[in-house]
Amino acid sequence: MSVRKFIIKSILLFAGVNVMFVLLASVGHAAGSRLRLYIVSSYSADYLWSQDTAKGVGQALLDFKFLDNQKQVEELNTRFYIESSSAVIKKSWMDSKRKHSKIQIADTIARIVNDIKIFRPDLIVLGDDSAVNYIGNYFVDSEVPVVFWGINGLPLKYGLIDSVERPGHNITGVYQAGFIKESLEYLLGLVPTIKTVAVLSDDSPTSRAKVKGLMILAAQGKLPVDINDTVMTNSYEEWQQKALRFAQHNDAFVVFNHNTLKDRKGRLIEQMEAGSWYLQHIQKPDCSDVKQFVLEGILLVVDDSGYKQGYEAMRYANEILRRNKPPGQMPVTMTSRGAIIVNRVRAAQLGIALDQVNFIEEFVDYSLALQAGESKK
């Protein structure tokens, strides 16, 4: 079933809600001339990446005068709704890392699409792949402009734009090119003896895009190491078994997302639980692509900054709403890299000396996953 057919079917399941939409549509612009923005995040408020993008969104909303003060930013991040002197902003969460079955996705799409219709925004902002794919496909070529952040890999894959340079429809935004090549290069700067690397990942839309991008770089001969083994799975037991096996004949790991793992009983394994197990059992240098993983406890990342993704998306929103720029004529862009970040807890655990290393731009002195593991003992 195509994405568009799936979305239409999902909406029809909730056709009764549209009756409410008709009744409430007349009050959609009760705030007068204030701009109305509806933000959809693919994940959840407690997800580290979402917290990072929220900081960028919040700062941009202040800088571009959508919000009046920091207190309103905090209120938006806790209540997910705010009215300022110039804007009315609402935020919804898909929680697609936890709720990713077809039925759950259908329910989520119907709920959010109908809420958007009732809210009647002047612009929709979509954060990350699930929101862009499912909500974006519903509103493509509608009258309301759409801005996205956080697509992993080239955004052409969802059929929403004609080209990166000239999107051609009502949608534009910011995508993640990723800096995993750079992460591997700097990991070699810490441990020059690394030759072979294993890739450990769940089997989610986010991870599939990341692994595909990494494999393309490997096939092009652009990586400084050999990718020796790869696993993408949503089985927690397989993820653990492959990690232990790969550690026997690889020098290092690339660790991507591990948010959709389930055990044999169907229990969803939270990120920090999986991370705690990994950090305690795998004693190899490791790297990843975004800051959340070095906060979790992974050794090094060259950050594909969630902050920058959120900020740039709102800058585009400002250009569309305040300067009347057509989104179809605004090139889709990628952000510059964030900081080179190293976790000193992991470095000490692996016996890696950092005192002579001069390229590190930011240090993390704790491990969220190990802390979570300790708290459960």
| Residue 171 amino acid letter | I
The reported pLDDT for the residue numbered 77 is 95
The reported pLDDT for the residue numbered 24 is 35
CB within 8 Å of 28: residues ≥ 6 apart: 36, 118, 119, 120
The reported pLDDT for the residue numbered 15 is 42
The residue ranges of the chain whose pLDDT is under 50 are: 4, 11-31
The reported pLDDT for the residue numbered 100 is 80
Token readout for 245 is: 């096996």
| Residue 283 amino acid letter | Q
Domains of the chain with bracketed CATH: 3-176+306-334 (3.40.50.2300), 180-303+339-375 (3.40.50.2300)
Q: What is the Cα–Cα distance from 54 to 77, expressed in whole angstroms?
A: 7
Sign of CA dihedral 295, 184, 257, 112: positive
**Of 304, 97, 342, 305, nearest to 213 (Cα)?**
304
The tokens 């169907």 sit on which residue? 266
Q: What is the pTM of this model?
A: 0.85
The reported pLDDT for the residue numbered 232 is 98
Residue 336, classed as helix, strand or coil, is coil
Buried b (16+ CB within 10 A) or exposed e, 262-287: eeeeeebbbbbbbbbbbbeebebbbb
User: Beta-strand (E) ranges in 262-364?
Assistant: 286-288, 300-302, 333-334, 340-343, 362-364
Q: What is the Cα–Cα distance from 185 to 328, expressed in whole angstroms?
A: 36
**Of 283, 321, 298, nearest to 370 (Cα)?**
298
The reported pLDDT for the residue numbered 155 is 81
Identify whether the C-beta of residue 169 lies closer than 8 Å to the C-beta of residue 161. yes
The reported pLDDT for the residue numbered 231 is 98
